[in-house]
Amino acid sequence: MISYCIASYRPTYSTLLVQDLIRKTTAPFEILIWLNTDDEQYEKFLEEQRSNGAPVRIVGKTRENIGMQAYPLLFAEAQYDLIAQIDDDVVAVSRNIAEHTSEVFLKFPAVKQLVADVWQDDYTTGARPPMSSYREYEHEHALYDGPIDGWFSVFHRSVLPLAQARYGDTYFPLGAMLRNRLRETGRLGLLCTKFKVFHVIGPQYVSHFGMLDFEIEKYRRLGRHEIVSWYENSRDTLPPADELSSRVKNILANLEIA
């Protein structure tokens, strides 16, 4: 039913993501990984999952980070009708995403892309704008029209050619570009709040996972100086570790029942 595609540059996060996908997915699935890093421990972890029967496959590996350019290569290997582009800093998901998406695609033929909602609180936006930026498209299935991107974007195989165009930049908004291309052909990409993911955005939760220095250096290399300043300036005001741990436990508990 669904092919999960992950370009993995941050094994700290994507280890948790792979575990959560395996544990929660009840439909037929596969997890396709492109390794954007050289991490022996992570490769060993993936091999252990495969040896235990999980449908996990390393599609390719580059020692240099090729970022978003890995996704068209992953999409080309997908075998199922539902293809998911997932950012590697998503660490947890709600259940029945494939089933919800399949139902929407069947009921609304014009809809060819659904993007998961994200956990939001006073420490993170999850990269999604406020709901005031969206217009309700359909109430029962919790569908909204507005800005989306590829933090967890599921599209139908029939529009695969629109998702496979490559770009010169290491990072580019592939999910948003797919939405725009769909619109040009009279089809739709929408936000669906029936399912949700924990997308680790913001210095507080990044620090909880021990990734603050890593993220600062990454954004410095990318020339994202506003994010570098935001993260660096947060160091002296980070919440206590036990508060962050409690919050993360609450988020994960909520996604268990979402």
Average pLDDT value for residue range 175-195: 97
Based on the fold, state whether residues 129 and 221 are members of the same structural domain.
no
Q: Does residue 67 fall inside a structural domain?
A: yes
End-to-end CA distance of the chain: 21
Q: Does residue 258 fall inside a structural domain?
A: no
Q: How far apart are CA 103 and CA 89, in angstroms?
A: 27
Contact 35, 116 (CB under 8 A): no
Contact 135, 146 (CB under 8 A): yes
Per-residue pLDDT tens digits for 78-128 = 999 999 999 999 999 999 999 999 999 999 999 999 999 999 999 999 999
Q: What is the mean pLDDT of the chain?
A: 96
pLDDT at 134 > cutoff 90? yes
- Confidence grade of residue 222 (pLDDT, cut at 50, 70, 90): confident
Based on the fold, state whether residues 163 and 235 are members of the same structural domain.
no
Based on the fold, state whether residues 134 and 246 are members of the same structural domain.
no
Based on the fold, state whether residues 32 and 153 are members of the same structural domain.
yes
Task: Give the CATH number of the domain where residue 54 resides.
Answer: 3.90.550.10
User: Quick one: pLDDT at residue 171?
Assistant: 83
Based on the fold, state whether residues 144 and 56 are members of the same structural domain.
yes
**Tokens of residue 23, six digits:** 């544990």
Average pLDDT value for residue range 239-256: 98
Based on the fold, state whether residues 154 and 235 are members of the same structural domain.
no
Average pLDDT value for residue range 169-191: 94
Q: How many structural domains is the chain composed of?
A: 2
DSSP state, 121? B
Based on the fold, state whether residues 61 and 134 are members of the same structural domain.
yes
Per-residue pLDDT tens digits for 9-55 = 999 999 999 999 999 999 999 999 999 999 999 999 999 999 999 99
Q: Does residue 234 fall inside a structural domain?
A: yes
- Domain range holding 189? 2-201
**Selection from 1, 72, 11 nearest residue 38 by Cα:** 11
User: Quick one: pLDDT at residue 258?
Assistant: 77
- The residue out of 186, 201, 216 marking a domain boundary is 201
Based on the fold, state whether residues 120 and 214 are members of the same structural domain.
no
The set of residues, in sequence order, having a beta carbon less than 8 Å from that of 35 and lying 6+ positions away, is 8, 42, 43, 58, 60, 61, 62
Out of 47-56, 61-70, 209-218, 243-252, pick the least confident: 61-70
* Other residues' Cβ atoms within 10 Å of the Cβ of residue 151: 21
Based on the fold, state whether residues 183 and 245 are members of the same structural domain.
no
